[in-house]
Amino acid sequence: MSDTFTKEMARNIYYGGGFAAFLLLLGLTFDTMRVLPERDHRENITPSVAHGKGLWEKNNCVGCHTIMGEGAYFAPELANVYDRYGNGSEEAFKSYLQGWMAAQPLQIQGRRKMPQFNLTSEEVDNLADFLIWTSRINDNDWPPNKQG
């Protein structure tokens, strides 16, 4: 091996490293696509869950909240909101969310104000179904703390 670093050596390292990184990306993508059906429970997506996701997007909830770490960090993480306030009961969580959404915006000094979206009772239930479904995704115990 020579004592000098040539252009050919640099080119070989560049292309070889790029090819190895590409192969690693393909392998990780394949592995992720293989395990996703076991983790996301897509068989449990109902029309209500899909409509709740549509409401989430339409009202830009991700503009303030995070869900599984994605979104803005202005308001609490909502991937585990069902676990925090539902206590294992879907009906209790839906009742909680109905009251919470109806009470917005809260008039508490120094607290950020969540807007009133004027959702119907059915829409709030759809949003609750989406959040319940989201809480059941295997997300490797995200968020790291219970309050998000």
Q: Identify whether residues 65 and 105 lie together within a single domain.
A: yes
Q: Identify whether residues 19 and 76 lie together within a single domain.
A: no
Q: Identify whether residues 102 and 114 lie together within a single domain.
A: yes
Q: Identify whether residues 56 and 18 lie together within a single domain.
A: no
Q: Is the pLDDT of residue 1 over 70?
A: no
Q: How many domains does the chain have?
A: 2
Q: Identify whether residues 19 and 90 lie together within a single domain.
A: no
What's the pLDDT tens digit per position in 90-146? Answer: 999 999 999 999 999 988 887 788 999 999 999 999 999 999 999 998 888 888 877
What is the rounded distance in angstroms from the CA atom of residue 70 to the CA atom of residue 79? 10
Give the mean pLDDT of 34-54.
Answer: 92
Q: Identify whether residues 31 and 54 lie together within a single domain.
A: no
**Which of residues 87 and 26 earns the better pLDDT score?**
26
Domain extent for 53:
44-148
Q: Which residue has the tokens 């830009």?
A: 60
Residue 84's domain is classified under what CATH number? Answer: 1.10.760.10
Q: Identify whether residues 87 and 136 lie together within a single domain.
A: yes
Q: Identify whether residues 118 and 147 lie together within a single domain.
A: yes
Task: Give me the DSSP letters along 11-57.
Answer: HHHHHHHHHHHHHHHHHHHHHHHHHHHHHH-GGG--HHHHHHHHHHH
Structure confidence at residue 148 (pLDDT): 65
Q: Identify whether residues 100 and 49 lie together within a single domain.
A: yes
Structure confidence at residue 139 (pLDDT): 84
